Amino acid sequence: MADKERVGFVGLGIMGKHMVRNLIKAGYSLTVYDVVATAMEEVAADGASPASSSKEVAEKAPTVITMVPDSADSEAAILGPDGVLEGASRGSVVIDMSSIAPGTSQKIASACEAKGVDFLDAPVSGGEPGAIAGSLAIMVGGKKQVFDRYVGLLNAMGASIVLCGGYGAGNTTKLANQIIVAANIEAVAEALVLAKKAGLDPNVVFQAIKGGLAGSNVMNAKAPMMIAGDFTPGFRIKLHQKDLHNALLTGKELGVPLPVTSLIQQMLGSLMNDGKQQIPRLTRRLFIPGGNLQTITKSHLARILAEENNLNGTQAKDLVDAFFQALAESIIQGEKIEALGFGVFRVKETNPKNSRNPRTGEAVLVPARRKVMFKPGKVLKGALMKARE
């Protein structure tokens, strides 16, 4: 690959936007596209050039990276109308860094080869912290000669880049990773709850065991957050449940039983059915309503709404603006509000001194049985979830 040539990037979610920033820091010129316009505006402020479609990204950049939620999204972004392949030229490359089913990666690779376009599947592990730090573990599937040409590009986003085999091998490796991470988080959560219920200080238990055989990167990263009630997300339940679903499908195809994976996948499915698909996976056992929750910008909220409700960028932005306007008015007037798809909320003042100032007053919104803290204005504080009647 020519040194520091223009790179295209499709998908600017929690992970993608930070990966774009690291590529810019490494000296690459970026052309980007996302279904949510506000997501493009965020990285445009860092120097990226927005495009109107995935096709336009490929027309302007010989190297295109895709980072989208699931198999269907990868197929749409790469193979669909106005997709990457419609704009790609012979000799260009598509690097799909999405975590998807290995069979889908192989399907996309075949379509790329038919057009003379190189392909790598290169899913990542490390969550948002790894994306920010440029320390992701990148698992790659594809031809070695293509991998060798683009490993330098991948180094701008990751600390560990390994060629795992042919097409689909990167995503098979990622599924193995997700099985281990999910089982580890579940085990850590169970162990800390057991310790706390037995009257022990969970932090003391963590310090005692982290240097032994039970110690792991997952424990070191997640145990302190669980203990502190810090529910800042690096990965949504919905996406991990999707990964375990893909693992089970792959296991079925290969005749491999995955009993622990099946159990945890059912737990995550139950959480999603209870309306908690947007909160961090580790809050299942230690969730404290109104506790130390995440801070999310309007643009992030718009992206989530677009993904969950099949909205375009303008529709999602309008919905967010309408929600904040309704929320501000409800705090001043003390009325019930129905915010265009969020459901009916009961508003209670929690800061009476500032109750007539919607920019500083906080409100507790109670959708159905769930309590979430929101702060009106540009920043939304709380675990985002789609409220149900």
Task: Report pLDDT for 383.
Answer: 27
CA pair distance 220, 210, nearest whole angstrom: 7
Q: Count the Cβ atoms, other than its own, within 10 Å of residue 374.
A: 22
Q: Which two tokens stand for residue 286?
A: 């230690």
Higher local confidence (pLDDT), 371 or 319: 319
Task: Report pLDDT for 14.
Answer: 87
Task: Report pLDDT for 205.
Answer: 97
Least confident of 112-116, 191-195, 219-223, 347-351: 347-351
Task: Report pLDDT for 353.
Answer: 41
pLDDT category at 301 given cuts 50, 70, 90 is: low
Query: For residue 194, is pLDDT > 80?
Result: yes
Query: For residue 342, is pLDDT > 80?
Result: no
Q: Which two tokens stand for residue 187?
A: 């085990």
Catalytic residue numbers, as ranges: 174
> Around 55, how many Cα atoms within 13 Å sit in the side-chain half-sphere?
8
pLDDT tens digits, one per residue of 35-73:
888 899 999 999 999 999 999 999 999 999 999 988 999
Query: For residue 285, is pLDDT > 60?
Result: no
pLDDT tens digits, one per residue of 74-101:
999 999 999 999 999 999 999 999 999 9
Q: Which domains does the chain have, with CATH numbers?
A: 7-166 (3.40.50.720), 173-286 (1.10.1040.10), 295-381 (4.10.520)
Query: For residue 299, is pLDDT > 50?
Result: yes
CA pair distance 180, 75, nearest whole angstrom: 27
Phi–psi pair at 158, nearest 5 degrees? -135, 165
Q: Which helix (H) or strand (E) holds 302?
A: helix 298-309
pLDDT category at 11 given cuts 50, 70, 90 is: very high
**pTM of whole model > 0.85?**
no
Average pLDDT over residues 24-41: 93
Among the listed residues 120, 87, 250, 71, the one whose alpha carbon sits nearest the alpha carbon of residue 176: 250
Average of per-residue pLDDT values in the chain: 78
Phi–psi pair at 9, nearest 5 degrees? -140, 125
Q: Which two tokens stand for residue 315?
A: 């529709």
Task: Report pLDDT for 230.
Answer: 79
pLDDT category at 4 given cuts 50, 70, 90 is: low
pLDDT tens digits, one per residue of 246-273:
999 999 999 999 999 999 998 888 877 7
Percent over 70 (pLDDT), the chain: 68
Least confident of 144-148, 171-175, 215-219, 332-336: 332-336
Query: 228-232, 246-250, 311-315 — which one is most confidently predicted on average?
Result: 246-250
Among the listed residues 321, 334, 315, the one whose alpha carbon sits nearest the alpha carbon of residue 380: 321
Which residue type occupies 80?
A: G
